[in-house]
Amino acid sequence: MRFYSTNREVPSVSFKEAVLKGLPDDNGLYMPEVIPRFTDNFLKNLHRLSFNEIAFHSANMIVENEIDEITLRSIVDESFRFDVPVKNIHDNIHVLELFHGPTLAFKDFGARFMARTMGHFLRSDDREITILVATSGDTGSAVAQGFLGVEGIKVMLLYPGGKVSKIQEQQLTTIGQNITAIEIDGTFDDCQHLVKTAFLDEELNKRLNLSSANSINIARLLPQSFYYTYAFSRLEKRNTKIYFCVPSGNFGNLCGGLLAKKMGLPVEGFIAASNINDVVPQYLETSVFRPKKSVQTISNAMDVGNPSNFARLLDLYNGDYLEISKDIKGVSFNDNQTRDIIREVYTKYNYLMCPHTAIGYGGLSGYLGTREIGIYLSTAHPCKFKDIVEPIISEEVEIPLRLKKVIDKKKRAIAMTNEFDEFKSFLIETN
């Protein structure tokens, strides 16, 4: 399969190049030239397949013969070693829990698959690579966990000291092995600036193979389509109208679902649910896309004012607003509404949700007709947002054992100022 840039100003590339490069030079996003279709037979037999079988088959259709089947199978098996439950909450409403991976958030799917795919391509090249990641919290630990122990890859995680939660800091600084945490005396923007400057620095690029593992890598998008197909397959009634509701920020998760639909998954439609950073719901209502500065909310992983995957969403529909607005409905909730949803669902159904997931529930329950079936995506475990959730339900939230272990580990981070020269010398010395 070849991959083109959504800006169409550079030639198409192989899957390998799209994965290793991340971003095309014209600043577009990579997309597959052809969207393959599931066969009727495959769709009919879905319920007999495991998550990993569905993942392998879907990936293989897009990667084609660029990764041999045995290798691709092992990439899939190593990436997805956790449960992906679909649970009925009440009536026709189901939740797809995507938080059973090592960092308790759905980003584990994309990060682990991307890391292993990159690892595979690098091994066959005998290249050593250094991956620089600036993180404000969650993405960094999912990416780093994904690369943990992958040969030929070193990961440098830059995070703003004192500006991530205690749990997040422990997750970032206790990984070890090929992962180095760097605590920057500065802001998240400083971390991002250091990483960007490093990519442009000639001397550094001569000495090291630098790469980024950003959220728009095509290898992060693909696995985010697998779980829609899987969730569909676990429903008892698959011949009704089925809707997915996706709590969205950068819209990578929703694009994964749209990709599955374009591959032939019989989904009636999607609900894009956001917090008050509602540029996409606004676009869906008015046909005008107007990015704005992001505003802080209690669902902070969705505080995005200029969603980077919007270009992919448009591209999947050739920019046809009418078609887009037929398939996707937009809805948004403010913090007080989000709190009300968390409290209500917990009281009525004894099901606790993180603020992002609550927005997913809210979007679905407000939209779904009684004859339709709905699935909303749960993007993180509620305990990751303990400080927000506990006062809402006036109860303590229990932390799962996996996370407790992380909290007790010793923090290891290298402290640095936000001066580029210090960061650069460090990279050269440790290489």
Ligand X SMILES: *Cc1c(COP(=O)(O)O)cnc(C)c1O
Contacts with ligand X by CB under 6 A lie at 105, 107, 138, 247-253, 301-302, 356, 379-380
Find the shortest distance in angstroms from Cβ 245 to ligand X: 12
Give the H/E segment covering residue 413: none
The alpha carbon torsion through 237, 238, 241, 245 (nearest 10 deg) reads 100
Report yes or no: 282 and 250 within 8 Å, Cβ to Cβ.
Answer: no
Find the shortest distance in angstroms from Cβ 267 to ligand X: 17
Q: Is residue 107 among the annotated active site residues?
A: yes
Dump the DSSP string for 124-161: TTT--EEEEEE-SSHHHHHHHHHHTT-TTEEEEEEEET
- Two tokens, residue 375: 């699935």
Give dist(CA 244, CA 137) in Å, integer: 27
Is 280 or 416 the residue whose CB approaches ligand X more closely?
Answer: 280
Is 140 or 427 the residue whose CB approaches ligand X more closely?
Answer: 140
Is 182 or 359 the residue whose CB approaches ligand X more closely?
Answer: 359
Three-class secondary structure of residue 373 per DSSP: strand
Is 164 or 416 the residue whose CB approaches ligand X more closely?
Answer: 164
Question: Given strand 414-416, what is the order of strands in its sheet?
Answer: 210-212, 129-134, 153-160, 179-184, 414-416
**Cα separation values, 313 from 58, 121, 327, Å:** 19, 27, 11
Which of 21, 87, 107, 405 is the catalytic position? 107
Is 132 or 254 the residue whose CB approaches ligand X more closely?
Answer: 254
Find the shortest distance in angstroms from Cβ 260 to ligand X: 14
Report yes or no: 362 and 332 within 8 Å, Cβ to Cβ.
Answer: no
Find the shortest distance in angstroms from Cβ 356 to ligand X: 4
Angle between helices 223-233 and 51-63 (to 10 degrees): 140
Is 138 or 183 the residue whose CB approaches ligand X more closely?
Answer: 138
Find the shortest distance in angstroms from Cβ 176 to ligand X: 23
- Residue 170's region, left for phi above 0, alpha for psi from -120 to 50, else beta, is alpha
Give dist(CA 165, CA 409) in Å, integer: 15
Find the shortest distance in angstroms from Cβ 306 to ligand X: 12
Active site residues: 107
